[in-house]
Amino acid sequence: MIMNSEEFFDFYEILGVEDTATIEEIKKAYRKKALELHPDANVNKNLTEEQLTKMREEFTRANVAYKTLTEEEEKAKYDQKRKEHYEKIRRQQEAKQQEAERRRQEEAFRRAQQRASYSWDYAYHATGFDRGTYERQNRADETRSNTQNRSRTSSTYHTQNTRRQESTMRSQTQKRASHKKENFFQSLKRQYQEVRRDEKKYNFKNRHQDISADYYDAFADKVTSIPKEVLYYAGSGATHVLLELFYQLAKLRYLNKDAFTKFVIRNRKLVTAAILVGVMVSTGVFQADKTPTGAIREGEDLAATTTTTIPNEEELTLNRYYKIESGDTLSELAEEANISAEDLRIANGLSSSTIYQDDTIKIPYHIKSEELKYYTQKIQAEGISLESLAKMYETDVDTLFRLNEEAIVRLEDGLYALTDELVVPKFITKAELKDLKAQQDKTY
């Protein structure tokens, strides 16, 4: 994936970034490069076949560069290969220079011999070399070259470290200078990106996988009956909730370290929760409602009492175009999609809850973020258009775009995939979802 044994490509140079670039900078550079080189984006430029072939090769190299530099293990291997490659080039250049100097001296000595009719005495007076001196000088040059190489190798780390420190100081100085030129919105955007970068280092999924693993190690062997199993799962849920609450509260320690805006961004969930609680208390939402459950207040329209399922920020909507089979009911299909039957009826413009076999309806699945991995899968989609891919997996192009925002680009004439590997929806039943969760819990 990095390179073959005969040819080497500098992936940083291909993407136009420094070898100290972050993952976000590499992704940004790759998207820009992909838009320039994507075959579908250059159809109307009247390019020759040779130019198109060259552009395809550059696009392929950019893809390989992106995949290599965004994977930690591959990037580490490539950086080592790159370092060895340039070190090899440097040694080859030094060897060529030394060889050229040796040949120059030999040529001068040979010409001096010719002018003196191959007289060693005259050659010695003309060039300062005789046969013995010439051979001794060769050995001395070889010894000196080896000593210089060892000295150069021992000082390489110190030189690189010094350059790295100078580069870091320049970078910090440039950042401070650029921060002074920022307006409020640019500063807000930068601070948000810094907070998000910190949060991704230990995200929600990783935190709760660690909690599950620790809880399983501590209590799984003590579950010997059904009541204990119930207590086990109840305790697991409570542990997840409490530790997540402690994690969010722990962010308050940045009060003296962060600027006010950055502190608010870092604790945005707690701030939002506090605001919502304040609004609810002030508007009397928590007061008891004396109207009986299910009763309609006087003067209230029946249509206004119909509940509507709205996906929240922690959910993603995946559209499914389903062909109705014998025995299907609207309420069962709505339950599998985590929406109400009324919402499903309205979404498809149906006058009643009656559905007919072989008709195709649109079912918006509301998937929780932590369950999204069960409803998706990665495939190789080389040579398949997004429209054909959407039809194969009972969905639409917009859903594919939401699942692959970094791998699909929107151009003036439509959407195009930048890579062959894409994420597609996998619509499963609630029973299948329950089985998959149970299997995962066993692995912990």
Q: Which residue in 422, 413, 325 sits closest to 380, CA to CA?
A: 422
Domain co-membership, 29 together with 96: no
Domain co-membership, 414 together with 381: yes
- Which residue, chain included where needed, has tokens 């010439």? 134
pLDDT of residue 418: 77
pLDDT of residue 181: 65
Domain co-membership, 150 together with 204: no
Domain co-membership, 214 together with 236: yes
Domain co-membership, 430 together with 336: yes
Spatial separation of the C-alpha atoms in residues 188 and 291, rounded to whole Å:
46
Angle in degrees, 0-180, between the axes of helices 226-250 and 204-219, rounded to the nearest 10 = 140
pLDDT of residue 321: 92
The residue that leads in pLDDT, 234 or 40, is 234
pLDDT band at 288 (very low <50, low <70, confident <90, very high): very low
Last residue of a domain, one of 233, 266, 299: 266
Tokens of residue 227, six digits? 């009541």
- Is residue 126 included in any domain, yes or no? yes
Q: What is the mean pLDDT of the chain?
A: 78
pLDDT band at 164 (very low <50, low <70, confident <90, very high): confident
- Is residue 137 included in any domain, yes or no? yes
pLDDT band at 312 (very low <50, low <70, confident <90, very high): low
The residue that leads in pLDDT, 93 or 443, is 93
- Is residue 298 included in any domain, yes or no? no
Q: Which domain holds residue 143?
A: 84-164
pLDDT by residue (tens digit) across 55-109? 888 888 888 988 898 888 888 899 999 999 999 999 999 999 999 998 888 888 8
Domain count along the chain: 4
The residue that leads in pLDDT, 146 or 124, is 146
What is the pTM for the complete model shown? Answer: 0.35
pLDDT of residue 206: 82
Question: Amino acid letter at 261?
Answer: T
Give me the percent of the chain exceeding a pLDDT of 90: 7
Q: Which string of DSSP letters, residue by residue, matches 283-305?
A: HTTTSPP-SPTT---TT--TGGG
Domain co-membership, 155 together with 257: no
- Is residue 75 included in any domain, yes or no? no
pLDDT of residue 292: 39
- Is residue 304 included in any domain, yes or no? no
- Is residue 138 included in any domain, yes or no? yes
pLDDT by residue (tens digit) across 188-199? 888 888 888 888
**175 exposure class (CB count in 10 Å sphere: 0-12, 13-18, 19+):** exposed
- Is residue 276 included in any domain, yes or no? no
pLDDT of residue 135: 63
